[in-house]
Structure 1
Amino acid sequence: MAFNRMESASYLASLLAKSFSRALQERGQKLGFAPGQFPILLELWAEDGLTQKQLLERIDVEQATMANTLARMERDGLIVRRKHPSDRRSQQIFLTDRARDIEAAAKEAAAAAEQSLLSGFRRFEKELMLEYMRMALANSPRGNGAS
């Protein structure tokens, strides 16, 4: 039996993720963030002052990728790191005013990127697709996938 990549959920999910990333790249660039920074920003907008370890637990990326992304975010003025008050080995990561100021626009950019990919979907089709995606993520080795 021949493998048909257009019948492969994992292949299609990968293409969809890349398409979303490109759509968010165009919109996020104007605001000063990259698509790979968006999950970190979402976590910090929800709970500022997380440690790198906490971010790693919440976002499914490699340690080196997280370290590099945080370094770029610090360089770009989106975050600052401060010594953890009770754990000398840890640093807390805080959003800058600049990052807080772009929250609404960044979330709107992500919604617009998603809408561009789901254009033409009826509401129930989008809801079904999201439900199926959540079900597939629940089956993944990491449980519910990235938050």
Structure 2
Amino acid sequence: MTDTHDSSPLRLIGRITRGFTRIADGGLREFGFAVGQLPVLVSLKKRKALSQAELARIAQVEQPSMAQLLARMERDGLVERVADPDDGRSRLISLTPLAAKRLPKAKALMDAHAQDALAGFSADEVAQLAALLERLNANVERMGGG
């Protein structure tokens, strides 16, 4: 028997997120990536080079957390610090050729996992779910002032 509290939408979203993260992390490890690195990897793929502050804002984490993440990613050969062309004293973060080469396969894996997670849903149901989650996200952002 399921407690009605266990089936609250926010609790379910948390369980789904933890489960999906666990599954995705397992597959991404093969490419030297982790789910927590995806906002950085995707942002750098789109924009080539960004500051640590910009990456922290995009990933919605504090600066010290981003600094730790970037230090590990740099150690693992995924990102590198490059001179900022607009400010010679400043450094930007960019993907290494190794990370850029591995990223398409990791994206394909994540796309396959997402497809598996949505198996049995019609296109209309996926669109409805996305619309409902967008509304929920907007409410949460409004609550947090962001």
Judge same fold: TM > 0.5, yes or no. Answer: yes
Matched, 1:52 2:52: yes
**Could you say what secondary structure the match of 1:61 adopts?**
coil
Question: Percent same amino acid among aligned pairs?
Answer: 35
> Structure 1: which 4+ aligned runs deviate by more than 4 Å?
none
Number of aligned residue pairs: give it: 142
- Listed one character per residue, the Cα deviations across residues 61-111 of structure 1 (whole Å, up to 9, x for unaligned) are 232221111111101101001243444664200110011101211111111
Counterparts of 1:110 and 1:86, CA distance in 2: 35
Q: Decide which moves more: 47-56 or 116-125.
A: 116-125
Residue matched to 2:81: 81
CA contact (8 A) 2:39 2:58 kept: no
- Listed one character per residue, the Cα deviations across residues 46-70 of structure 1 (whole Å, up to 9, x for unaligned) are 1111001111121112322211111
Counterparts of 2:111 and 2:132, CA distance in 1: 19
Q: Decide which moves more: 88-97 or 126-135.
A: 88-97
**Could you say what secondary structure the match of 1:139 adopts?**
helix
- TM-score, length of structure 2 as denominator length: 0.85
Q: 1:4 to 1:91 in 2, by over 3 A?
A: farther
Structure 1 residue ranges without an equivalent (≥5):
none
RMSD: 2.2
Structure 2 residue ranges without an equivalent (≥5):
none
Counterparts of 2:116 and 2:106, CA distance in 1: 15
**Could you say what secondary structure the match of 1:119 adopts?**
coil
Counterparts of 1:142 and 1:26, CA distance in 2: 34
- TM-score, length of structure 1 as denominator length: 0.85
Q: 1:44 to 1:119 in 2, by over 3 A?
A: same
Counterparts of 2:110 and 2:61, CA distance in 1: 19
Residue matched to 2:124: 124
Larger helix fraction of residues: 2
Matched, 1:63 2:63: yes
